Amino acid sequence: MKGSHLSTGTEPLHTLVVGCLVRNEMDEVLLIRHKKRGWEIPQGRVEEGESLVAALHREVREETGVEILMGPLAAVWSKLTPPSAVIFTFLGSYLSGELAPTGDSGEAAWLTPHQALELVTGSVMRERLLTLLNFDGAITYRAYTLKPYEVVHEGRLSAPAASEPG
């Protein structure tokens, strides 16, 4: 059957999500106001057959109207409460475009880090924002559950140290 998919009848075990803390030349951060969740970084699901990089650029563009230069992977979260998800969060820099929120993002704004922390009130997104604002080069990993929000595992990954000449 040309062009058809074989279905196992099962749903994915988890969803892949990408998010980005975008900064502009004035060191402001870009947030969106989601219609249900409130203020947060631009983020969204990776579509089937889409790379993390392509999904990141698409989600930021769709939710804010701007183009970014993708920076490093800063943190990975595993949401263990169904529907489970793995969230890859990156740092990024503003390249071009005017703020033009669409879809679930009713508003987008450039804010100082302090203003952003005041507006982001959800415990999960606030921790995510704090982690990204304080990125020091080591990738943070956290696994968490919801209701109540609880981090059940955390760690940090760093680049291996360069070996000294012998």
Provide the pLDDT for residue 5: 42
Tokens 């279905």 belong to residue: 7
The answer to whether 108 and 29 are in contact (CB under 8 A) is: no
Looking at per-residue pLDDT, the higher value among 5 and 13 belongs to: 13
Nearest alpha-carbon partner for 18 in 68, 81, 73:
73
Percent share of the chain, pLDDT over 70: 87
Written as one string, the DSSP assignment of 94-140 is EEE------TTEEEEEEE-HHHHHHH--SHHHHHHHHHHHT--SSEE
Tokens 């000449």 belong to residue: 165
Provide the pLDDT for residue 1: 35
- Does residue 10 fall inside a structural domain? no
- Does residue 23 fall inside a structural domain? yes
Tokens 């604002």 belong to residue: 133
- Does residue 162 fall inside a structural domain? no
Q: What is the pLDDT of residues 115-147, one digit of tens each?
A: 999 999 988 999 999 999 999 999 999 999 998
The mean pLDDT value for 78-102 works out to: 93
- Does residue 6 fall inside a structural domain? no
Residue 161 binned pLDDT confidence (cut-offs 50, 70, 90): low
The mean pLDDT value for 34-38 works out to: 86
What pTM, to 2 d.p., does this model score?
0.85
Looking at per-residue pLDDT, the higher value among 14 and 19 belongs to: 19
- Does residue 125 fall inside a structural domain? yes
- Does residue 8 fall inside a structural domain? no
Q: 117: burial class by Cβ within 10 Å (0-12, 13-18, 19+)?
A: middle
- Does residue 1 fall inside a structural domain? no
Tally of domains in the chain: 1
Residue 93: give its domain's CATH number.
Answer: 3.90.79.10
Q: The domain containing residue 114 runs over which residues?
A: 15-156
- Does residue 107 fall inside a structural domain? yes
